[in-house]
A and B are shown apart, each in its own frame.
Chain A
Amino acid sequence: MNKPATPNSFRTGPDEQGMFGIFGGRFVAETLMPLILDLERHWNEVKNDADFRAELTDLSTHYAGRPSKLYFAEGLTKHLREVSSARGLAGGAKVYFKREDLNHTGSHKINNCLGQILLAKRMGKKRIIAETGAGQHGVASATVAARFGFPCVVYMGATDVARQSPNVFRMKLLGAEVRPVTAGHGTLKDAMNEALRDWVTNVEDTYYLIGTAAGPHPYPELVRDFQSVIGIEARAQILEQEGRLPDTIIAAVGGGSNAIGLFHPFLDDKEVRIIGIEAGGRGLDGIEHCASMNAGAPGVLHGNRTYLLQNSDGQIMDGHSISAGLDYPGVGPEHSWLRDSGRVEYVPILDDEALEAFKLTTRVEGIIPALESAHAIAHAVKIVPAMDKDQIVIVNLSGRGDKDVHTVASMLGMEI
């Protein structure tokens, strides 16, 4: 790709057509187009509406538990300083965790769901549908649907239903109907196809609550804005706690909503290095990974143009990750643009590296991170020992790992 000229600000996208450079857009069937335009109209009304903001802030505070803490991960910092010393470097940056795992429902997903359920209510919709990979977004959707009295259908790949059974049960307890999707590999991509098929069928009354900063415009923008509370808080918290901006911020990228939420408020802070972590799976040499920005090419899927894992005929590949939440062959369009513009680095972390970080964090911090978040921690483990002691790294701890204990146990050959 030609590298675009460096813009004055990285925070002005998308344009009126929903484009971030060549990425994004509205690649949907005509049946959905009027719905998306209607959504855009409502979104433009509410995004600067004081009443809407006040209602969302109130729910975020009293229902979801915001602001989430910015926690100095002293145990991990100490451990990585020992690693640094053992290498003769005597370094090791201070590591902070943005504790999205402490939110109600256990991940960052609630931020977006609260925003969108208020939008659905304003639009007079009667029914909520959602897709989910790890089940975190499914649980958050089922939660807000229960809270606001909407019936809710969650599409979930059959493979994910099997590997995320605790979340499936939570969704059912919350009154949602979980529909397993057997097409393809039975993962997030297939769940999203099926959710779109439901939406195109039930256009009158249904709100599609997309869980990540992807899909047709305006979803990438509105999900980003609802998730930007992560970065807005983190930026203010680090200024208060350390008196300065961090040197590096790191987040895992599947569709990329927790990452764009952390990154966006920092994009114009040129001194802050920003790193997104893709699922490297079993390695980028084969096809068992989900590193669309490192090993894919721009293409069109699920309503937007973005980096995709695909073959030379434009057929989408299934990919693989130990983490169901990162198991998606695409990525939100704004990440694709940030990649090509060079503002954000995107690097892969392998399944095994994420698993090690999962175990390490559990042991030295007493925090069980989601496998998604463990990818971001794994990259911190790699780079922090070579950094100076007076440097600061923020890792987005996007969710808690209780849902992953079955997966981890089977990876470790243990029975629970």
Chain B
Amino acid sequence: MATRIDRRMAKLRNEGRPALVTYFMGGDPDYDTSLSIMKALPGAGSDIIELGMPFSDPMADGPAIQAAGLRALKGGQTLAKTLKMAADFRAGDNETPIVLMGYYNPIYIYGVDRFLKDAIASGIDGLIVVDLPPEMDEELCIPALKAGINFIRLATPTTDDKRLPKVLQNTSGFVYYVSMTGITGSALADTGKVAAAVKRIKGHTDLPVCVGFGVKTAEQARVIGANADGVVVGTAIVNAVANVLGPKGEKTADPAEAVATLVSGLAQGVRSARLAAAE
């Protein structure tokens, strides 16, 4: 069963360019503003949306995404509201894939069966759950695959060739290659090493490989996109929101517009990626 992610990736492959995958934090700084950001993403050039589920203890995230999650939680965001946000978005866009990204505990407390049912009803296409490695597949991965939702796994520089098959086994949609050992928002790794890693993973799977962690500028998106099937940008987007919030959280400019401006630039980067690679 092809999902929106599969269809979108096939379409981009035909166009001969990598996907721009954009992460933002659901509910940051409040529900309505966040929904307006989400709605602005496809028009600005985002191909796949990663909708962040805020968590109190985001162990794999750097200061920017930690702060965004806390702003969202302070603004009253819950997992139920994040699902509603996806549903509200879906009412006006039935094509752009939505991937929920976050940590397991809120899903576990919500209840896995109830969560999957509501996720499907909300038009969710895939899940990235940072703290569920393949060793814990029975928890959510297997039930999600049975329910028809892609389970997108992270592969990292520490995932060697011996371990890759285990990581890829129940992965679908795409593989998310974490460009470095570290937390989100750190400096971009050596792009030559990233390209080699993407090639290595492609030797094990036909799935598209998207690269994230550390990509902040259009130029970086262009360079990474020359070899990868997609480029994930998160911290830069979350920072674009933070930059238009005053010390008390008041908006000093329109966050959706700030994000759209950034994403438009990044979209130009990925659209010139293969041209650059061909040169």
Contacts and interface: CB of A to CB of B under 8 A. Distances in A.
Interface of A: 17, 25-35, 183-184, 189, 193, 196-197, 200-204, 297, 299-303, 305, 308, 310, 312-316
Interface residues of B, number: 42
Nearest to A201: B182
A302 B78 contact: no
A30 B156 contact: yes
B142 to A, nearest CB: 15
Max chain A C-beta neighbours (<10 A), residue from B62, B105, B153: B105
A302 B59 contact: yes
A313 B80 CA distance: 8
Nearest to A31: B156
16 contacts: A25-B136, A27-B136, A30-B158, A30-B159, A31-B178, A33-B133, A33-B134, A183-B66, A189-B57, A201-B186, A300-B131, A301-B57, A302-B59, A305-B108, A310-B109, A313-B110
B155 interface: yes
Contacts, number: 115
A204 B60 CA distance: 17
Interface in B143-191: 153-160, 163, 167, 178, 181-183, 186
Interface of B is mostly: loop
B207 interface: no
Given A27-B132, A30-B159, A196-B59, A314 B154 contact: no
Listed from nearest, the 9 A-B pairs whose CB atoms lie closest are: A314-B109, A314-B106, A201-B182, A31-B156, A315-B56, A314-B105, A313-B78, A33-B133, A27-B131
Contacts of B89: none
A62 B128 CA distance: 50
B133 A29 contact: yes
Interface in B27-65: 55-60, 62
A30 B178 contact: yes
B105 A301 contact: yes
A29 B182 contact: no
A412 B272 CA distance: 69
Nearest to A18: B135
Nearest to A189: B57
Interface of B: 55-60, 62, 66, 73, 78-80, 103-110, 130-136, 153-160, 163, 167, 178, 181-183, 186
Contacts of A32: 158
B160 to A, nearest CB: 7
Given A26-B136, A300-B131, A314-B105, A200 B57 contact: no
B131 A28 contact: yes
Contacts of A35: 158
Contact of B133 (A28, A301, A305, A316): A28
A201 B181 CA distance: 5
Contacts of A314: 55, 79, 105-110
Max chain A C-beta neighbours (<10 A), residue from B66, B135, B154: B135
Given A30-B178, A200-B181, A201-B181, A316 B105 contact: yes
Given A26-B135, A33-B135, A313 B57 contact: no
B60 A200 contact: yes
Contacts of A183: 66
Contact of B73 (A33, A193, A315): A315
A313 B53 CA distance: 11
